[in-house]
Chain A
Amino acid sequence: MRILISAVPSLLAALTATAAWAHAFLDHAEPRVGSTTATAPRELVLHYTQNLEPAFSSVEVSDANGARVDLGKPTISASTMRVGLKALPPGTYRVRWQVLSVDTHTTEGSFTFHVKQ
């Protein structure tokens, strides 16, 4: 019993450590969130904080008029999702993503990036 009681501080110590992962949230993207690129990217790459379920994860990229500019179905490997892009003229583009993490929780989000004149 004394051993069990002495284990309590270690539990509290573990709680003070901050883990860096949980449900699948966007860790970083290429092009970066809100960034302006000098040349039009040919591909959008999204890196998440957790492995994804390809069957239930998707991404869409659209221009200022709402027209789709991605090349369709993304490829997903572990925690990374990639989708090809059409030749992008200068402008602002919105990325909308929805993913299912392997812990069966759905998360979604959106951001924009800009291609310079």
Chain B
Amino acid sequence: MPVRAISLDAESILSNLLIAVRDIHFASSVIVAGIVFFDWLIVAPVFGADLRLPATFSAFTETSQRILWLSLGVSIVSALAWLCLLSSRIAGKPFEQVIADGTIWIVLSRTQFGIAWAARILVAALLAICLPSLQKLKALPADWRGFLSALLAGFYLGLMAFAGHGEEGLGFERNVHLAADFLHLVAVGLWLGGLLPLAILLTYLRRCGEEPWLSAACNAGSRFSTLGILAVSILLISGTINASFLVGGIQSLVDTRYGRLLLLKLALFAVMVSAAAINRQYLLPRLCKADATDRSDPTAQRLVRSTLVELTLGLAIILIVGVLGITAPAVDMASHAH
């Protein structure tokens, strides 16, 4: 039996650090994928091949690219920190010892988490190399460039399914759970990850005031809203599948820490969907009918604020996800209470 060389206090600090690193990694990875998806599905069709609204496009691209590269850097560094901390927790050894004695290499090369992590770091490196190259590769149609970038970003985010409770189960059920978790993550990238670039785009459209800024804002908002419905549908279906594997009954939602955290996550999700519904049913139609010459019309600004509220709720959900990942699923606690 391996002897654990760290105290309970150190283990508690390690768990809290792991939660923080997971949160940072989730958030940064979701933003990376979200910006790439948003560029492909919203920015490209809204701005069109003739590059209307040049000042807005330039300001938006500069800001979103800065955030993309910063997030990719944070995501890679936090992925490495996650690997170190997890190796320390698995081996029950101090952080520096797992690096010095090679335990971290065993985790990376001989566990499913490690292999998935190595694949993700490879995809991150491919993203870093391919994103600038694809943007310059004018021989390839813009749709294809966007699709290839989105494919890489989707894999980068989705492969996180192999790093936690997505691995629960055996045989066919395990594969179903992994697929559901993969799609869940991609849907989070589509919706939550797209909120930040949407808020930035709407802000620049209004600030620059180039014609036809209002129809572009209406177009972007409508496209994102439709994308949001698709993403929320995927989240509901995949979330239901995940819950059926991890919760183990209504009672477990109340009786276990995992269940209560999941309930809180679902409550925040419901508020997020409500905010999105208000945007779609109330603010967006008003924006699309507004007078383009009336810059004092507050609808666009309200839509930005509402989008930022959704984003804040989404970040709160990510904080909960960080804790859920290291909490024993409710189904464990329920089955071991007997």
A interface, CB within 8 angstroms of B = 1, 3-4, 7, 10-12, 14-23, 25, 49-51, 53-56, 58, 60, 78-79, 96, 98, 100-106
The answer to whether B169 and A18 have CB atoms under 8 Å apart is no
Give the chain B neighbours of A3 by CB distance below 8 A: 233
The 9 closest A-B pairs by CB, nearest first: A22-B332, A14-B244, A103-B167, A55-B110, A102-B167, A14-B240, A22-B331, A102-B112, A7-B236
Contact of B244 among A7, A15, A58 (CB under 8 A): A15
The answer to whether B165 and A103 have CB atoms under 8 Å apart is yes
Among A78, A79, A105, max chain B CB count under 10 A is at: A105
B45 near A: Cβ within 8 Å? Answer: no
| Complexed CA–CA distance, A50 and B331 (Å) | 13
| With A19-B331, A104-B164 as contacts: A56 and B248 at CB distance below 8 Å | no
| Complexed CA–CA distance, A25 and B90 (Å) | 16
Total count of chain B residues near the partner, CB < 8 A = 50
The answer to whether B249 and A16 have CB atoms under 8 Å apart is yes
The answer to whether B1 and A58 have CB atoms under 8 Å apart is yes
Give the chain A neighbours of B91 by CB distance below 8 A: 56
| With A23-B329, A96-B1, A100-B90 as contacts: A15 and B336 at CB distance below 8 Å | no
Whole-angstrom distance between the Cβ of B7 and the nearest chain A Cβ: 16
| Complexed CA–CA distance, A14 and B252 (Å) | 13
Give the chain A neighbours of B1 by CB distance below 8 A: 58, 60, 96, 98
Whole-angstrom distance between the Cβ of A31 and the nearest chain B Cβ: 20
Give the chain B neighbours of A78 by CB distance below 8 A: 170
Give the chain A neighbours of B89 by CB distance below 8 A: 106
Closest B residue to A79 using CB positions: B170
The answer to whether B170 and A50 have CB atoms under 8 Å apart is yes
The answer to whether A22 and B246 have CB atoms under 8 Å apart is yes
The answer to whether A16 and B250 have CB atoms under 8 Å apart is yes
The answer to whether A21 and B331 have CB atoms under 8 Å apart is yes
The answer to whether B164 and A15 have CB atoms under 8 Å apart is no
Whole-angstrom distance between the Cβ of B41 and the nearest chain A Cβ: 20
- Residue interface mask B73-104, A partner, CB < 8 A = 1: 00000000000001001110000000000000
| Complexed CA–CA distance, A79 and B164 (Å) | 17
B232-290 at interface with A (beta carbon < 8 Å): 232-233, 236-237, 239-241, 243-250, 253, 273, 277, 280-281
Give the chain B neighbours of A18 by CB distance below 8 A: 248-249, 331, 334
The answer to whether A23 and B332 have CB atoms under 8 Å apart is yes
Give the chain A neighbours of B245 by CB distance below 8 A: 19, 21-22
The answer to whether A101 and B236 have CB atoms under 8 Å apart is no
Interchain Cβ contacts under 8 Å between A and B, 12 examples: A4-B232, A4-B236, A7-B237, A16-B250, A18-B249, A19-B169, A19-B246, A21-B173, A22-B328, A100-B90, A104-B164, A105-B328
| Complexed CA–CA distance, A86 and B7 (Å) | 35
B113 near A: Cβ within 8 Å? Answer: yes
B298 near A: Cβ within 8 Å? Answer: no
The answer to whether A15 and B111 have CB atoms under 8 Å apart is no
Closest B residue to A97 using CB positions: B1
B125 near A: Cβ within 8 Å? Answer: no
Among A17, A18, A20, A102, max chain B CB count under 10 A is at: A102
Give the chain B neighbours of A16 by CB distance below 8 A: 249-250
Give the chain A neighbours of B2 by CB distance below 8 A: 56, 58, 98
Whole-angstrom distance between the Cβ of A100 and the nearest chain B Cβ: 6
The answer to whether A21 and B169 have CB atoms under 8 Å apart is yes
| Complexed CA–CA distance, A69 and B329 (Å) | 35
Closest A residue to B328 using CB positions: A23
The answer to whether A104 and B169 have CB atoms under 8 Å apart is no
